[in-house]
Amino acid sequence: MLKSQLLAQLLKLLASGLLLISFAMLSRRRTQRLITLFAWQGAILFLSTSLVAWDAGLTELWYSAALTLLLKVMALPWILHRLIQKLGAQWDSEPLVNIPVTMLVGLVLVIFAFGLAQPISMMATTITRHTIGIALAVILLAFLMMITRRKAITQVIGFLAMENGLFFAATSATYGMPMVIELGIALDLLVAVFILGIFFFQIREQFDSLDLHHLESLREE
C-alpha cells in the first residue's frame, strides 16, 4: 500500500516535470537548449514508463521503456545535434515575441486539457490515471510551440515533443499500446526525422536560411 502510494506520488512528480519542461521549451530561444530539453523530456518518459512497468509487472512496457531510452534520449537528440552542427546552426537563436502572453495562453491550454481529461481519468484503472490531463497538456503546449515558432528545426522539435505527449498519454491511460503499434510509431518517427534532415538541407540550399519567413509565397491571390 505504502509502496504504491509512494510510486503514485513519484509518477505525479515526474509528470509535473514533463509539464515544466514543456513550458521551458516555450520560452527558450537557442536551438541547442531546446534539443537538450527534448532529451530531458525523453529521459523523464523513460523513468516513468520503467516505474509503471515495474509496478504493473508488464514485460511489454519494459520494452517500450527501452525503446524510449534508445530513440528519444539517445538517437533523436544525437541526430538533431549532428544536424544543427552540419548546418552550422548551433548558436542560432530566434527572437521570441511576447513570452508572457505565450505563457498565459499555455496556462489556459493546461486548464482546458485538465477539464477535457477529467472524465477519462475517472474511468481509468491505471496507477497513472491522474496524469492523463498532463499528457494532453503536453500535446497542446507542443502544438502552441509549433504555432509560435518560425524556425524549421524548432517546429520539428515541437512536433517531436507532441509525440512525447502522445506516448505519455498512451502509457498513462492504458499502460501503452500493443508492441507492434509502438514499433510502427517509433519507425515512422525515425523516418520522419531523417526526411526532415534531408529537407533542412534542401531548404537551406534554396533559401540560405532555415527561417520559415521565406516559406510564405504560396498564398491565395
Partner 1 sequence: MELLLVLGLPLAGTLLLALLGARRFAAELNVAVSLATLVAAAFLVLRVIRHGSLLVGHDQFFVDPFNVFLVALTAFVGLTTAIFSRPYMRIEQHHGRLNPLRLRLYHSMFQLFMGAMLLALLTNNMGLLWVAMEAATLSTVLLVSLYRTRASLEAAWKYFILCGVGIAQALFGTILLYFAAEQRLGREGMTALLWTHLNAVKAHLEPRVLGLAFVFLLIGYGTKVGLAPLHNWLPDAHAEGPTPVSAVLSGLLLNVALYAVIRCKVLVEGSIGPALPGRMLMTFGLLSAVVAAFFLWRQRDIKRLFGYSSIEHMGIMTFAFGLGGPVANFAGLLHMTVHSLTKSSIFFTAGHASQTAGTQRMDDISGLLGVSPTIGWGLMLGSIAILGMPPFGVFASEFLILTTAMREHPWTTPFLLVAFGVAFAAIFSKVQPMVFGHTEARRLPQSPALVPVFIHLAMVLALGLYIPPVLAEWYRAAARLIG
**Burial of residue 219, with CB atoms counted within 10 A of its CB: 0-12 exposed, 13-18 middle, 19 or more buried:** exposed
Q: Which residue lies nearer to partner 1 by CB, 35 or 145?
A: 145
Q: Which residues contact 133 (CB under 8 A, 6 or more apart)?
A: 113, 114, 116, 117, 118, 121
Distance between CA atoms of 111 and 34, rounded to whole angstroms? Answer: 24
Distance, CA of 77 to chain centre? 12
Helices (H) and strands (E) in the chain, counts: 8, 0
Q: How many residues bind partner 1 (CB under 8 A)?
A: 48
Residue 208 found at the interface with partner 1 (CB under 8 A): no
Q: Which residue lies nearer to partner 1 by CB, 84 or 136?
A: 136
CB of 187 to partner 1, least distance (A): 8
Residue 2 found at the interface with partner 1 (CB under 8 A): no
Residue 207 found at the interface with partner 1 (CB under 8 A): yes
Span near partner 1 by CB under 8 A; candidates 15-23, 64-72, 103-111, 184-192: 184-192
**Burial of residue 197, with CB atoms counted within 10 A of its CB: 0-12 exposed, 13-18 middle, 19 or more buried:** middle
Integer Rg of the chain from CA: 18
191 closest CA partner among 20, 76, 40: 76
Give me the 92-121 binding string for partner 1, x by CB under 8 A, dash otherwise.
Answer: ------------------------x--xx-
Distance between CA atoms of 83 and 43, rounded to whole angstroms? Answer: 21
Residue 152 found at the interface with partner 1 (CB under 8 A): yes
Q: Which residue lies nearer to partner 1 by CB, 2 or 198?
A: 198
Place of cell 529537407: 199
Q: State which of residues 13, 16, 54, 178 lies at the interface with partner 1 (CB under 8 A).
A: 178
Q: State which of residues 17, 79, 166, 197 lies at the interface with partner 1 (CB under 8 A).
A: 166
Residue 215 found at the interface with partner 1 (CB under 8 A): yes
Where does this chain bind partner 1 (CB under 8 A)?
116, 119-120, 123-125, 136, 139, 143, 146, 152, 155, 159, 162-163, 166, 169-170, 173-175, 177-178, 180-181, 184-185, 187-188, 191-192, 195-196, 198-199, 202-203, 205-207, 212, 214-218, 220-221
